[in-house]
Structure 1
Amino acid sequence: MSTRRLVVGISGASGFVYGVRLLQLLRELDIETHLTVSRSALLTMTHETDYKLADVSALASATYRCDDMAAAISSGSFRSMGMIVAPCSMKTLAEIASGMSSTLISRAADVTLKERRPLVLLARETPYTLAHLRNMTSVTEMGAIVAPPVPAFYARPDSLDQMIDHTLGRVLDLFGLEAGTVKRWREAEAPAPQPA
């Protein structure tokens, strides 16, 4: 059985397109994806995009209802490379930080942490309250990586799509996956001459 698979959660924060584009990139990389989308994310989807749930589900290898607590991804016996929540709402972050599992996203994240697999959370909110910061500290202490989708302007992006791709490319770096979407800092420059 292949373990070249990732669990993807899309929660209700602004930035639904991050989850969609992530699924597209993972498909291009031939990574099996297991998707769950929160109810709030469905509302965000209708406000921010022209996608339908069927369009997004078609990008994933498997899709699970967010209230399906008996789904395969709710068990530690489900092998994967880890999980990405893109975007991650502050509600979802709080549930993960407190160990609450009221949705399949927070349950799958809890499983990812207990199995010591990488969990990356694209926390989407600003400004942060003290509760948000404490929850970020808590999940970091538990082993998660908080990666807010902050654009890298050194890459001189020409479009929103390039900013999204750069962010997601950096997230995929954390799993050792090369998406080809990152303009890496000074990597293309010629090395400085070494003294003789």
Structure 2
Amino acid sequence: MSSPESVTLAMTGASGAPYGLRLLDCLVREDREVRFLISNAAQLVMAIETDVQLPSKVHMMQAFLTEYTGAAVGQIKIYGTEDWMSPVSSGSSTPSPMVVVPCSTGALSAIATGACNNLIERAADVTLKERRQLILVPREAPYSSIHLEHMLKLSNIGVTILSASPGFYHQPQTIDDLVDFVVARVLNLLNIPQDMLSCWGECHLGNNK
């Protein structure tokens, strides 16, 4: 299986902004085109959890993240949450897998029920109907029965639910190590090379630094 040339990355308003930013950085480093979507709530959470405060205008945000990640011009393409003419809103666009990280339980609910109230939800709906890869990274505790029912429903139709639950067998020393654990798992699922986490049982666990 060949690695995807482009990835749709969406961030919603759950705690876990460092996961989304780190994944963006890794995708850029691996020369992937990134179709980037972010909710207003996610921008607020990002300002609280990181030192990144995104500009409000789409073109300014695109320029900011291009410089922030060292991306090539045009490598990151940002679409507003009401941009219904964007490629990710239609199944006739060039196929790409989609990752929602962090994925709020509100976004999880909307995706599970087929709601398309904004571009993130529509993009996920398109991903589902076109039978493309969709990875959701929820960060909530504890989960209610409603959350779990939505996860089961989505899992049964092929969606990967990857909870933002870092492991400890790689002996993390910093918060960045914990973030990298989850991001590495996402990259593995996307079949994109990563050197942040050794493969279990095949590589020495201590050689992932």
Taking structure 1 as the reference length, what is the TM-score of the superposition? 0.90
Superposition map of 1:1-196 within 5 A: 4-53=5-54, 54=61, 55-56=64-65, 59=69, 61-189=76-204
Distance 2:142 2:89 in 1: 32
Which runs of 4 or more aligned residues in structure 1 lie more than 6 Å from their structure 2 counterparts after TM superposition? none
Q: Deviations over 1:126-163 (max 9, x none)?
A: 10000000010111122210001111111111111111
Q: Output the CA distance in 2 between the equivalents of 1:98 and 1:170.
A: 26
Deviation of 1:57 after TM superposition, in Å, equals 6.1
Q: Considering only aligned residues, what root-mean-square deviation do their CA atoms show, in Å?
A: 1.6
SS at structure 2 position matched to 1:131: helix
Say whether the 8 Å CA contact 1:18–1:164 is kept in structure 2: yes
Q: CA contact under 8 A between 1:4 and 1:80: conserved in structure 2?
A: no
Amino acid at match of 1:23: L
Query: d(CA) in 1 for partners of 2:176 and 2:148?
Result: 28
Percent identity among equivalent residues? 37
Alignment length (residue pairs): 188
How far apart, CA to CA, are the structure 2 residues paired with 1:20 and 1:188? 27
Which blocks of at least 5 consecutive residues in structure 2 are unaligned? 55-60, 70-74, 205-209
Distance 1:188 1:17 in 2: 27
- Provide the rounded CA distance (Å) in 2 between the counterparts of 1:56 and 1:81: 20
TM-score, normalised on structure 2? 0.85
